[in-house]
Amino acid sequence: MPVNLPTNLLRSFVAIVDTGSMLNASEQVFVTQSALSLQVKRLEELVQQALFIRDGRRLTLTPAGDLLLDYARRVLILHDEAVAAVSNNHFSGPVRIGMVQDFADTLLTGLLSTFARLHPDTQIYARVAGTAELQTLLERRQLDVILGFASGSDSNAIATAPMQWYGSRELTRRNIVPLAVIEQPCRFREAAIRTLDAAEIPYRIAVETPNLSTLKAAVQAGLAVTCRTHLFLHDLDPLEDGHLPTLPPISCVVETAETLDAPAQKLADLTRRIVREL
């Protein structure tokens, strides 16, 4: 009797190789690391060969693993083509979108509800993170569509927005301006510091945080000023009294994986349309 290699085991095997670790692969194939380890063990039992050399957390393909990888890729391509052809593209895996928190707070609910109405049978995976992290996940094939920020001159921009200062006017008149920033890397942080340095305005970082909600709380509490776009705070007007220098514009970009199935492509198109309307 020939040995049957389940496609879910092959898909997990390829994901581990492509992403470089069990942790990254687990996020791509939507199983826990422990379940992923069991899948690898089961695949090795079926082929009766070790597929990885384990050195701590580092995984390196054995000669047998390297040989299986090419076949696994071809099997999965044919498998997915067969499913798409027979089901007339009605079946698809999860559509995976990532976006920065500014957009998540503003349009994620509306975007996902609109997409769900158009594709009620499609599973959606949403990730909120900084632009740099999202781009890394896209490169690792863990996301299909990402929505983030780039420089104002980025060729992939689908919309451009002005950066603006937010906070208490009283703080801008201090000898040393207290600044609230997101942890690096952050384009808004870089723009604020670069602009204040160029204008020779003394400042100190009064609040540094990894998340946008804490940044908002700090600004609303009058602890510091920050720079963001009009998506930042709808109940707080930007500072326009001239005490702080003008900030550069920033671009909104939508990036996608090299190949998208029909639902993912429609989600990308819908995302671009909604952002242009903001």
Which range marks the domain in which residue 79 is found?
Answer: 7-87
167: left (phi over 0), alpha (psi -120 to 50) or beta: left
Sheet with 157-162, strands from edge to edge, namely: 124-128, 95-99, 145-151, 249-256, 157-162
End position of a domain, from candidates 70, 87, 104: 87
How do the pLDDT tens digits run along the chain, 278 residues long?
A: 678 899 889 988 988 888 888 887 877 676 778 888 899 999 999 999 999 988 776 788 999 999 999 999 889 888 877 776 666 555 556 788 888 888 877 777 777 778 877 777 778 888 888 888 888 888 888 888 998 888 777 777 888 888 889 988 899 889 999 999 998 888 899 999 999 999 999 999 999 988 888 888 889 888 999 998 877 666 677 887 678 898 988 888 888 888 887 788 888 888 888 887 76
The answer, as to whether pTM is greater than 0.75, is no
243 and 256 together in one domain? no
Contact in structure between 220 and 233 (CB atoms under 8 Å): yes
240 and 257 together in one domain? no
Q: How many domains does the chain have?
A: 3
CA-CA distances (angstroms) from residue 210 to 171, 181, 213? 22, 9, 9
Encoded amino acid at 74, one letter: R
Sequence-separated (6 or more) residues with CB below 8 Å from residue 82: none
DSSP 147: E
83 and 27 together in one domain? yes
**DSSP bridge pairs for 253:** 148, 157
Can you say how many angstroms the Cα of residue 129 is from the centroid of all Cα atoms in its chain? Answer: 5
Cα–Cα nearest to 267, from 79, 157, 113: 113
Domain at 176, CATH number = 3.40.190.10
